[in-house]
Protein backbone atom coordinates (compact mmCIF):
# COMPACT_ATOMS: atom_id res chain seq x y z
CA UNK A 1 0.00 0.00 0.00
CA UNK A 2 1.47 3.31 -1.09
CA UNK A 3 1.52 6.42 1.11
CA UNK A 4 -1.10 8.18 -1.02
CA UNK A 5 -3.46 5.21 -0.85
CA UNK A 6 -3.01 4.90 2.91
CA UNK A 7 -3.75 8.59 3.37
CA UNK A 8 -6.96 8.25 1.38
CA UNK A 9 -8.00 5.15 3.34
CA UNK A 10 -7.52 6.93 6.67
CA UNK A 11 -9.57 9.89 5.44
CA UNK A 12 -12.41 7.52 4.44
CA UNK A 13 -12.20 5.67 7.74
CA UNK A 14 -12.38 8.89 9.71
CA UNK A 15 -15.18 10.26 7.52
CA UNK A 16 -17.24 7.18 8.37
CA UNK A 17 -16.36 7.53 12.08
CA UNK A 18 -14.55 4.19 12.24
CA UNK A 19 -12.14 4.16 15.19
CA UNK A 20 -10.53 0.73 14.64
CA UNK A 21 -9.68 -0.43 11.14
CA UNK A 22 -8.02 -3.63 9.92
CA UNK A 23 -5.87 -3.79 6.79
CA UNK A 24 -5.05 -6.94 4.81
CA UNK A 25 -2.34 -7.24 2.15
CA UNK A 26 -0.61 -3.91 2.70
CA UNK A 27 2.62 -5.38 1.22
CA UNK A 28 5.00 -3.75 3.71
CA UNK A 29 7.97 -5.62 5.10
CA UNK A 30 8.92 -5.94 8.77
CA UNK A 31 6.95 -5.42 11.96
CA UNK A 32 6.31 -2.38 14.12
CA UNK A 33 4.14 0.71 14.44
CA UNK A 34 4.09 4.31 13.26
CA UNK A 35 2.03 7.48 13.37
CA UNK A 36 0.65 8.49 9.95
CA UNK A 37 0.46 12.15 8.94
CA UNK A 38 -3.31 12.10 9.46
CA UNK A 39 -2.92 11.07 13.11
CA UNK A 40 -3.79 7.91 14.98
CA UNK A 41 -1.46 4.92 15.06
CA UNK A 42 -0.83 1.93 12.79
CA UNK A 43 0.52 -1.38 14.07
CA UNK A 44 1.67 -3.67 11.27
CA UNK A 45 3.09 -7.12 10.64
CA UNK A 46 4.68 -8.01 7.31
CA UNK A 47 7.09 -10.49 5.80
CA UNK A 48 10.82 -10.34 5.24
CA UNK A 49 10.36 -8.70 1.85
CA UNK A 50 7.94 -6.02 0.71
CA UNK A 51 5.49 -6.55 -2.11
CA UNK A 52 3.38 -9.37 -0.69
CA UNK A 53 0.94 -10.03 2.14
CA UNK A 54 0.96 -8.20 5.43
CA UNK A 55 -1.69 -7.19 7.99
CA UNK A 56 -2.16 -4.04 10.03
CA UNK A 57 -4.54 -2.36 12.48
CA UNK A 58 -5.22 1.37 12.55
CA UNK A 59 -6.35 3.02 15.79
CA UNK A 60 -7.96 6.44 15.83
CA UNK A 61 -6.29 9.02 18.08
CA UNK A 62 -8.99 8.45 20.72
CA UNK A 63 -8.05 4.75 20.97
CA UNK A 64 -4.27 5.03 21.17
CA UNK A 65 -4.18 5.39 24.95
CA UNK A 66 -6.50 2.40 25.34
CA UNK A 67 -4.06 -0.05 23.74
CA UNK A 68 -2.51 -2.56 26.12
CA UNK A 69 -0.23 -3.99 23.45
CA UNK A 70 -0.06 -5.74 20.10
CA UNK A 71 1.33 -9.01 18.76
CA UNK A 72 2.69 -9.08 15.17
CA UNK A 73 2.51 -12.84 14.57
CA UNK A 74 3.46 -13.05 10.88
CA UNK A 75 2.51 -11.59 7.51
CA UNK A 76 -1.00 -13.09 7.77
CA UNK A 77 -1.99 -12.64 11.41
CA UNK A 78 -1.62 -10.03 14.14
CA UNK A 79 -3.55 -8.99 17.24
CA UNK A 80 -4.18 -5.80 19.19
CA UNK A 81 -5.47 -5.68 22.77
CA UNK A 82 -7.47 -2.75 24.16
CA UNK A 83 -8.37 -1.92 27.74
CA UNK A 84 -12.05 -2.36 28.62
CA UNK A 85 -14.01 -1.30 31.68
CA UNK A 86 -15.11 -4.85 32.54
CA UNK A 87 -13.51 -7.01 29.84
CA UNK A 88 -10.59 -6.19 27.58
CA UNK A 89 -11.06 -6.37 23.81
CA UNK A 90 -8.69 -8.35 21.59
CA UNK A 91 -8.84 -7.82 17.83
CA UNK A 92 -7.20 -10.36 15.51
CA UNK A 93 -6.57 -9.17 11.95
CA UNK A 94 -6.08 -11.81 9.25
CA UNK A 95 -5.21 -12.33 5.60
CA UNK A 96 -5.87 -15.94 4.58
CA UNK A 97 -4.21 -17.72 1.64
CA UNK A 98 -6.19 -17.72 -1.60
CA UNK A 99 -7.94 -20.78 -2.97
CA UNK A 100 -4.96 -21.28 -5.32
CA UNK A 101 -2.64 -21.87 -2.34
CA UNK A 102 -1.67 -25.40 -1.35
CA UNK A 103 -3.67 -27.27 1.28
CA UNK A 104 -0.55 -27.26 3.47
CA UNK A 105 -0.33 -23.45 3.32
CA UNK A 106 -4.03 -23.06 4.15
CA UNK A 107 -3.79 -25.44 7.10
CA UNK A 108 -0.68 -23.66 8.35
CA UNK A 109 -2.70 -20.43 8.40
CA UNK A 110 -5.49 -21.98 10.47
CA UNK A 111 -3.02 -23.65 12.83
CA UNK A 112 -1.39 -20.28 13.45
CA UNK A 113 -4.77 -18.56 13.83
CA UNK A 114 -5.80 -21.21 16.37
CA UNK A 115 -2.61 -20.68 18.36
CA UNK A 116 -3.16 -16.92 18.32
CA UNK A 117 -6.76 -17.35 19.49
CA UNK A 118 -5.70 -19.78 22.23
CA UNK A 119 -3.16 -17.25 23.52
CA UNK A 120 -5.84 -14.61 24.20
CA UNK A 121 -6.91 -14.15 27.81
CA UNK A 122 -10.06 -16.24 28.39
CA UNK A 123 -12.05 -13.31 29.81
CA UNK A 124 -11.39 -11.04 26.81
CA UNK A 125 -13.98 -10.15 24.22
CA UNK A 126 -12.61 -11.21 20.82
CA UNK A 127 -13.17 -10.01 17.27
CA UNK A 128 -11.47 -11.73 14.32
CA UNK A 129 -11.63 -9.83 11.05
CA UNK A 130 -10.01 -9.78 7.66
CA UNK A 131 -9.83 -11.22 4.17
CA UNK A 132 -10.47 -14.96 4.54
CA UNK A 133 -10.57 -15.65 0.76
CA UNK A 134 -13.55 -17.92 1.43
CA UNK A 135 -17.26 -18.03 0.68
CA UNK A 136 -19.41 -19.35 3.54
CA UNK A 137 -22.78 -18.59 1.88
CA UNK A 138 -25.80 -18.77 4.20
CA UNK A 139 -27.10 -21.20 6.81
CA UNK A 140 -27.38 -24.73 5.44
CA UNK A 141 -28.24 -26.79 8.56
CA UNK A 142 -29.64 -26.39 12.07
CA UNK A 143 -26.28 -27.48 13.45
CA UNK A 144 -24.72 -24.31 12.08
CA UNK A 145 -27.55 -21.93 12.99
CA UNK A 146 -25.45 -20.22 15.68
CA UNK A 147 -22.48 -19.91 13.32
CA UNK A 148 -23.90 -18.87 9.94
CA UNK A 149 -26.90 -16.59 9.44
CA UNK A 150 -29.42 -16.27 6.63
CA UNK A 151 -27.76 -13.40 4.81
CA UNK A 152 -24.55 -14.80 3.39
CA UNK A 153 -24.20 -14.65 -0.39
CA UNK A 154 -22.62 -16.92 -2.99
CA UNK A 155 -22.03 -20.67 -2.99
CA UNK A 156 -19.96 -22.16 -0.21
CA UNK A 157 -16.57 -23.39 -1.39
CA UNK A 158 -13.90 -25.58 0.22
CA UNK A 159 -12.26 -22.57 1.88
CA UNK A 160 -15.67 -21.58 3.23
CA UNK A 161 -16.16 -25.05 4.73
CA UNK A 162 -12.81 -24.72 6.49
CA UNK A 163 -13.76 -21.32 7.91
CA UNK A 164 -17.10 -22.64 9.15
CA UNK A 165 -15.30 -25.60 10.74
CA UNK A 166 -12.95 -23.19 12.53
CA UNK A 167 -15.93 -21.19 13.81
CA UNK A 168 -17.72 -24.32 15.07
CA UNK A 169 -14.60 -25.52 16.88
CA UNK A 170 -14.23 -22.17 18.66
CA UNK A 171 -17.89 -21.24 19.22
CA UNK A 172 -17.71 -18.24 16.88
CA UNK A 173 -20.29 -16.77 14.52
CA UNK A 174 -19.87 -15.02 11.17
CA UNK A 175 -21.35 -11.60 11.89
CA UNK A 176 -21.71 -10.57 8.21
CA UNK A 177 -24.32 -13.26 7.66
CA UNK A 178 -26.49 -12.36 10.64
CA UNK A 179 -27.84 -8.98 9.51
CA UNK A 180 -30.25 -8.26 6.69
CA UNK A 181 -28.93 -5.64 4.29
CA UNK A 182 -29.31 -4.74 0.64
CA UNK A 183 -27.13 -7.02 -1.47
CA UNK A 184 -24.80 -4.15 -2.33
CA UNK A 185 -24.02 -3.91 1.40
CA UNK A 186 -23.28 -7.64 1.66
CA UNK A 187 -20.64 -8.26 -1.00
CA UNK A 188 -17.07 -7.36 -0.01
CA UNK A 189 -14.96 -7.96 -3.13
CA UNK A 190 -15.32 -7.40 -6.87
CA UNK A 191 -13.61 -9.91 -9.17
CA UNK A 192 -11.80 -8.62 -12.28
CA UNK A 193 -14.70 -10.07 -14.31
CA UNK A 194 -17.01 -7.69 -12.36
CA UNK A 195 -18.73 -10.48 -10.39
CA UNK A 196 -19.23 -9.68 -6.71
CA UNK A 197 -18.42 -11.93 -3.77
CA UNK A 198 -18.42 -12.05 0.02
CA UNK A 199 -14.95 -13.14 1.19
CA UNK A 200 -14.14 -10.69 4.00
CA UNK A 201 -15.66 -11.45 7.39
CA UNK A 202 -15.95 -10.34 10.98
CA UNK A 203 -16.13 -13.19 13.50
CA UNK A 204 -17.21 -12.89 17.13
CA UNK A 205 -17.85 -15.19 20.08
CA UNK A 206 -21.32 -16.63 20.64
CA UNK A 207 -20.98 -15.79 24.34
CA UNK A 208 -20.81 -12.12 23.33
CA UNK A 209 -23.44 -12.08 20.55
CA UNK A 210 -24.85 -8.78 21.82
CA UNK A 211 -21.44 -7.21 21.16
CA UNK A 212 -22.25 -6.85 17.43
CA UNK A 213 -25.06 -4.39 16.68
CA UNK A 214 -24.79 -4.55 12.91
CA UNK A 215 -22.44 -5.27 9.99
CA UNK A 216 -22.48 -3.85 6.46
CA UNK A 217 -20.18 -2.73 3.69
CA UNK A 218 -19.83 0.88 2.57
CA UNK A 219 -19.68 0.72 -1.25
CA UNK A 220 -19.26 4.48 -1.56
CA UNK A 221 -15.98 4.56 0.36
CA UNK A 222 -13.01 5.21 -1.92
CA UNK A 223 -10.17 3.07 -0.54
CA UNK A 224 -8.35 2.43 -3.80
CA UNK A 225 -8.95 -1.32 -3.71
CA UNK A 226 -11.27 -3.96 -5.16
CA UNK A 227 -12.47 -4.73 -1.61
CA UNK A 228 -15.32 -2.80 0.00
CA UNK A 229 -14.99 -1.13 3.38
CA UNK A 230 -16.61 -3.56 5.85
CA UNK A 231 -17.94 -1.98 9.04
CA UNK A 232 -19.31 -3.44 12.27
CA UNK A 233 -21.11 -1.51 14.99
CA UNK A 234 -19.70 -2.84 18.25
CA UNK A 235 -21.22 -2.26 21.67
CA UNK A 236 -18.48 -2.28 24.29
CA UNK A 237 -16.84 0.13 26.70
CA UNK A 238 -13.16 0.89 26.38
CA UNK A 239 -11.04 2.61 29.00
CA UNK A 240 -8.06 4.94 28.92
CA UNK A 241 -4.90 3.56 30.47
CA UNK A 242 -3.66 5.33 33.56
CA UNK A 243 -0.48 7.38 33.06
CA UNK A 244 2.51 5.11 33.46
CA UNK A 245 0.41 1.94 33.26
CA UNK A 246 1.73 0.84 29.89
CA UNK A 247 4.62 -1.65 30.23
CA UNK A 248 7.99 -0.75 28.71
CA UNK A 249 8.83 -2.69 25.55
CA UNK A 250 12.48 -3.71 25.15
CA UNK A 251 14.15 -4.71 21.89
CA UNK A 252 15.27 -8.31 22.45
CA UNK A 253 16.19 -9.09 18.87
CA UNK A 254 19.92 -8.42 19.13
CA UNK A 255 21.74 -11.59 20.22
CA UNK A 256 24.86 -9.81 21.56
CA UNK A 257 22.63 -7.77 23.86
CA UNK A 258 20.98 -10.95 25.12
CA UNK A 259 24.40 -12.32 25.98
CA UNK A 260 25.41 -9.05 27.63
CA UNK A 261 22.24 -9.09 29.73
CA UNK A 262 22.90 -12.64 30.89
CA UNK A 263 26.42 -11.64 31.92
CA UNK A 264 25.12 -8.55 33.75
CA UNK A 265 22.56 -10.62 35.65
CA UNK A 266 25.06 -13.39 36.43
CA UNK A 267 27.59 -10.91 37.78
CA UNK A 268 24.97 -9.18 39.90
CA UNK A 269 23.58 -12.44 41.25
CA UNK A 270 27.11 -13.61 42.13
CA UNK A 271 27.29 -10.62 44.47
CA UNK A 272 23.80 -11.30 45.84
CA UNK A 273 24.77 -14.90 46.51
CA UNK A 274 27.44 -13.73 48.91
CA UNK A 275 25.10 -11.57 50.98
CA UNK A 276 21.92 -13.66 51.16
CA UNK A 277 22.73 -14.93 54.60
CA UNK A 278 22.55 -11.38 55.92
CA UNK A 279 19.19 -10.50 54.26
CA UNK A 280 15.56 -11.25 55.06
CA UNK A 281 13.66 -13.19 52.33
CA UNK A 282 11.41 -10.22 51.41
CA UNK A 283 14.39 -7.88 51.19
CA UNK A 284 16.21 -10.39 48.97
CA UNK A 285 13.23 -10.69 46.59
CA UNK A 286 12.98 -6.91 46.27
CA UNK A 287 16.71 -6.63 45.62
CA UNK A 288 16.57 -9.27 42.84
CA UNK A 289 13.62 -7.51 41.13
CA UNK A 290 15.29 -4.11 41.38
CA UNK A 291 18.55 -5.51 40.03
CA UNK A 292 16.86 -7.15 37.02
CA UNK A 293 15.02 -3.95 36.05
CA UNK A 294 18.20 -1.90 36.41
CA UNK A 295 20.10 -4.28 34.12
CA UNK A 296 17.29 -4.18 31.53
CA UNK A 297 17.45 -0.38 31.38
CA UNK A 298 21.22 -0.26 31.02
CA UNK A 299 21.54 -3.16 28.55
CA UNK A 300 18.54 -3.11 26.19
CA UNK A 301 17.40 -0.28 23.89
CA UNK A 302 13.73 0.64 24.13
Band (264; pLDDT cuts 50, 70, 90): low
Domain boundaries, the chain: 3-234, 255-299
How does the average pLDDT of the chain come out, rounded?
A: 83
**Residue 220 predicted with pLDDT over 80:** no
Band (2; pLDDT cuts 50, 70, 90): low
**Residue 268 predicted with pLDDT over 70:** no
Can you point out the beta strands (E) in 86-158?
Answer: 89-95, 125-131
| 107 three-class SS | helix
Please state the φ and ψ torsions of residue 162, each to the nearest 5 degrees.
Answer: -65, -40
- The DSSP code for 287 is H
Do 35 and 51 touch, CB atoms closer than 8 A? no
Nearest 5°: the CA angle 186, 130, 85 is: 100
Give the architecture-level CATH label for domain 3-234.
Answer: 4-Layer Sandwich (3.60)
pLDDT, position 271? 47
pLDDT, position 92? 98
| 11-36: pLDDT as tens digits | 888 888 989 999 888 888 889 999 99
Q: Provide DSSP, 10-79.
A: HHHHHHTT-SEEEEE----BSEEEE--TTSSEEEEE-BSSSSS--EEEEE-TTTGGGEEEEEE-SSSEEE
Do 45 and 78 touch, CB atoms closer than 8 A? yes
Do 26 and 54 touch, CB atoms closer than 8 A? yes
**Residue 244 predicted with pLDDT over 80:** no
Do 76 and 109 touch, CB atoms closer than 8 A? yes
pTM of the predicted protein model: 0.78
pLDDT, position 76? 95
Give the percent of the chain with pLDDT over 90: 47
Band (262; pLDDT cuts 50, 70, 90): low
- The DSSP code for 215 is E
Amino acid sequence: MKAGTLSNVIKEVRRNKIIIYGIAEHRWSGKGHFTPAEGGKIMYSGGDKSGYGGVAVYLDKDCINMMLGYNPVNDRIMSVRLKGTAHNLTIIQTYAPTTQASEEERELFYDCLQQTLDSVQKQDKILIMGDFNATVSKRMSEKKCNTIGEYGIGTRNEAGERLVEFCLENNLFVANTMFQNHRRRLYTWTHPDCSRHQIDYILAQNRWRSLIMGVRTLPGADCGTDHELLMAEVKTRLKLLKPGARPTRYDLTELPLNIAYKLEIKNRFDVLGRITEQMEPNDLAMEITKSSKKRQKTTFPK
